[in-house]
Structure formats: C-alpha cells, structure tokens
Amino acid sequence: MSIPSDTMQSWCEKLIAGREAAPDLELQDYLDAIPRLESLADLPSGTPVLVRGDVDAKPGKEIGQGDIRLRSMVETLQFGQQQGWKQIVFGHIGRDPEQSLDKVASRLGQLLGCEVQLLSDWLDEESMTVRPEVVSAIESASPGAILLLDNTRKYAIERALWKAKPADLPGLASKLAKFASEMAAKVAKVYVNEAFSAGSLDASSVVVPAAMDRVALGKYAAGEFDGPMQQCLKASLAVFSGIKIDKLDDMEAMIARGSIKQIFASGSLAMAIRKAIGELDDAPVSLGAAEDPANRGEPWYIPENRVAQAKEIVADGREKGITFTVPCDSVLGDGSVKDKLEPTDQQFDIGPKSIEKFHEAVGTFIEKHGAGAVAFHNGVFGMFEDPRFETGTKAWFPELKRMKEAGVEVYVGGGEGGKALDRYGAPDWVTHTFTAGGTVLNALGSEPVPYLAALRLAVAT
C-alpha cells in the first residue's frame, strides 16, 4: 500500500520516542502482537515475500566459519521455499556503504542448496524508485527462488533515522514514505523479519513494514525471544561491561524487574558505578581522564549526570539486597597497574586484584544461589582486541564455565561477548550465546527493540 507522508511522520515519531510512545508495554506485549512465520502459510506459491535478513556476516572458507547469522536464517528461508514463495532477502553488512553482500549470496546458496541471485544496484535513490531490472528479476524468478538485494546501507535512506530528532522528521517523511511505498509496490507486500541482531533504526527494519499488507517474525528470531530471552528476564546475576555508558539505562531496567541479586560491572559503566559507590560510602574515587570535561567528545567519557544516575541505581539496589562488584585496580595504557587513578590516567583493562575480587564474588554467588539461578553476560572487560589488555576478559570467561558447572544457566549476549567466548572458551561453557548484543540489551533493558516496535505498529495499522 502507498503510505502518505504524514502517516510516515507519525510512524517515525513513535519509533524515535521509544518507550515514551508506549510506556506501559513490555517485551511480551510486543511479542504477543506480532504474527509468526506460520501465519503466512496461506500465501500461494509464487508470492513475493520480502525477508529482512541477518546478513551482516563475513563467511569463512568453510560452512560454519563466520556465518552463524546466515545459518540462523536457514529454517525460515527453507519454509518459504517449501511454500513456493519468491523470497527477496535484504539487509546490510557492516557500516561501510561500499561493502557488498556477494560472499553472503554465495554462502546462502551453499546453505540452501540453490543459486541466490545478487541484485547489486537495486534502488535509484535520486527518484527513490526501485529499478525496473529488479522488478523484472522478481517477476521472472521461479517459485521457491531466493534473491538478495545488495547492502542496504549503500543508500542514505537506510541510514536516515540513525541520528534523527523529531524536528528532522518533516523533512524526511516524504522520502521515507516513498521508499516504503516503492518496496511494497515493486518488490513485495509481505514482510518477514529474520534479522535478530538488526537493532538499529535502519529503514529496512523499521520503515518498510509500514507499507506492508502482512508482516511476521521469522522462526529463529521468534525462537530466541520466546526461549532464551525469557530466561534472561529472570536473571539473578548480570554482567555489564564495555565502553557504552548508556548501558546504565539497561541495568536500571533489569533491576526494576526485581530478580537481580548480583551485578558485575567493568568498562566505562563500571567507572560510573565505582565513582557512585565512593560517593555513597564517603570514600572518593578518581576516574582519571574519563571524568575530565576536556574528553567530553570521547566515547569513554563519564559525564556527571551518569554518575548521579549510578548513585541512584546503587542506592536503590542496596535497599533491594543487590551486591555490586566493580574493579578495584586498573591497567593503564603503558601496562602499569594502579589502584587509584591520577587525573590523566585512562583505564584499558581490569587489574589482578579485580580479577581475584571477581573470582571470589562468583564463588559467593554460587554458594548463595547455585543451581537453578540464571546469569546474563554482556560485553568484555577491557580493550581485549589488543593482547596487552585482554587479561581481564580472558580470566573472566572461565568464571562463566564455573557457574554453569555449578548448575547456573548462563546466557551470553552476542557481539564482543560472543567473540570473546570463541577466543577464550567454548560454546558448551555456557547455556546459550545470542547472535546479537545490542538487541538483547534492548529487550532486557529500558527501550523496546526497534524492529519489534515497527512490526507491532504494522499489525495495528
């Protein structure tokens, strides 16, 4: 269907507002509202179906290397093949608009046992129209065929909402409406989201569904939300780490659910928690360069308002009986270790005292809660991609194995946490590893998953 500009503007306002647009909705409300793949079984053979795929992958030489996200799509795509649909997969690879999905097309073909046709130049962005050769390719495709539209992020329209504010939407709505309407008119009117990890405000994830006649959630994505994610909602232990200070919002939301008993923190987030604990306990803590306003533009900078938020979180958490375990020493850029940071010092990893402190805290958690408890881990403890600063992360992952062996269900968010598990451990060290970190934090945290919000809106309208 064709989407008017004012309708698209209202749609995007809701997406950008996030939880503010629907403050009473929780994850389950979104999941309950969205049809699953099986609901499309009545579509006749030959129906074009647009599949937002989890194609952000770098396949290695052999199947099983670098293609976990592609393999997660197989069951959904095979279902469509059995139904005789013409499936048009689209999505992005990385953030570089020049990258191509040519290797992805080849690997998908291997996984599915068929040719996957790559359509490289599929959108005329100046006129915001789908190119006629794409329409011809879809029309001439046989029932059960798989086609792949190349990297969506090569087009600016895909990235239009990344940093958009409400004031920007009047100038964007007409282009976004035209893009969504073109996809419905010339590609497909049925849309399946099988991109579990695609948590950004990409137009392919959150705008195109507005023009669809029918939408559904793919088998893998639905399985992750209905299964492992439900267990994570019950987590009594959570590990928050990494450079993104806005994870404090997710920590706050998880604590509000009432099941958390133990929090481990590292990275920038831990710096804010450590500072907050110091202020609450009248034991001042320096965050070094991370609290210097001169570094305000750096991703590791900790603003005062985040420290204030951390104080509220810790104070509230202590009243609920939550234990916060944070680093007590830091590894600096030159490899030296300090208990107390000087104003110019920057932390790159946790130190040996922190590693021992975390080990002891895990033992205490196992003694108190043990078998049947649920633990959720996200991120890494330092700049682990540099061998000089991998010690903290490398020492932590055996703790996950230790918990699992004690009967704790252990879930790892994807992204860097998944990479670290591959590097320092093994899949059977944990109960389940997600293919995405950001999506999991959204689902467990303070904001709705953007594509779930979009699918729910599509059903409602």
Residue with the larger pLDDT of the pair 437 and 305: 305
Strands of 169-322 (E only): list them: 190-194, 214-217, 237-240, 262-265
Backbone φ, ψ for residue 299 (5° rounding): -65, -20
Q: Is 243's pLDDT higher than 80?
A: no
Average pLDDT over residues 319-325: 94
* Residues 408 and 380 sit within 8 Å (Cβ to Cβ): no
Q: Which amino acid is at 338?
A: K
Q: Is 119's pLDDT higher than 80?
A: yes
Q: Is 286's pLDDT higher than 70?
A: yes
pLDDT value of position 1: 66
pLDDT band at 439 (very low <50, low <70, confident <90, very high): confident
pTM exceeding 0.85? yes
Contacts of 83 (CB under 8 A, 6+ apart): 40, 41, 43, 45, 47
pLDDT value of position 188: 98
How does 165-176 read in b/e, with b if 16+ C-beta sit within 10 Å? eeeebeebbebb
Q: What is the residue-wise DSSP string for 61-82?
A: SSTTSS-HHHHHHHHHHHHHHH
Average pLDDT over residues 413-437: 87
**Nearest CA to 268 among 295, 293, 296, 240?**
240
Average pLDDT over residues 364-377: 94
pLDDT value of position 446: 76
How does 355-389 read in b/e, with b if 16+ C-beta sit within 10 Å? bebbeebbeebbeebeeebbbbbbbbbbbbeeeeb
pLDDT value of position 95: 86
pLDDT value of position 193: 98
Q: Give the pLDDT confidence of 156-191 residue by residue, as tens digits.
A: 999 999 999 999 999 999 999 999 999 999 999 999
* Residues 257 and 276 sit within 8 Å (Cβ to Cβ): no
Domains of the chain: 5-226+448-460 (3.40.50.1260), 228-430 (3.40.50.1260)
Between the ranges 15-19, 36-40, 282-286, where is the mean pLDDT highest? 36-40
Average pLDDT over residues 113-127: 96
pLDDT value of position 299: 86
Element (H, E) at 206: helix 203-206
Percent pLDDT > 90 in the chain is 77
Rg (CA), the chain: 23
Strands of 114-228 (E only): list them: 116-119, 123-124, 129-130, 146-149, 190-194, 214-217
d(CA 229, CA 94): 25
Q: What is the residue-wise DSSP string for 394-459?
A: HHHHHHHHHHHHTT-EEEE-STHHHHHHHHHS-GGGSSEE-S-SHHHHHHHSSS--HHHHHHHHHH
Q: Please give the structure tokens belonging to residue 305.
A: 């308002």
pLDDT band at 436 (very low <50, low <70, confident <90, very high): confident
Helix axes 247-256, 304-319, angle to 10 degrees: 20
pLDDT value of position 444: 84
Q: Give the pLDDT confidence of 292-312 residue by residue, as tens digits.
A: 899 988 888 899 999 999 999
Q: Please give the structure tokens belonging to residue 113.
A: 């046992």
Q: Is 431's pLDDT higher than 70?
A: yes
Q: Is 422's pLDDT higher than 90?
A: no
Termini Cα distance of the chain: 12
Environment class of residue 196 by beta-carbon count within 10 Å: exposed (0-12), middle (13-18) or buried (19+)?
Answer: buried
d(CA 215, CA 198): 16
d(CA 346, CA 338): 10
* Residues 44 and 54 sit within 8 Å (Cβ to Cβ): no
d(CA 374, CA 230): 11
**Nearest CA to 34 among 194, 181, 158, 179?**
194
* Average model confidence (pLDDT) across the chain: 93
Average pLDDT over residues 259-272: 90
Backbone φ, ψ for residue 20 (5° rounding): -60, -30
Backbone φ, ψ for residue 121 (5° rounding): -110, 85
d(CA 123, CA 157): 10
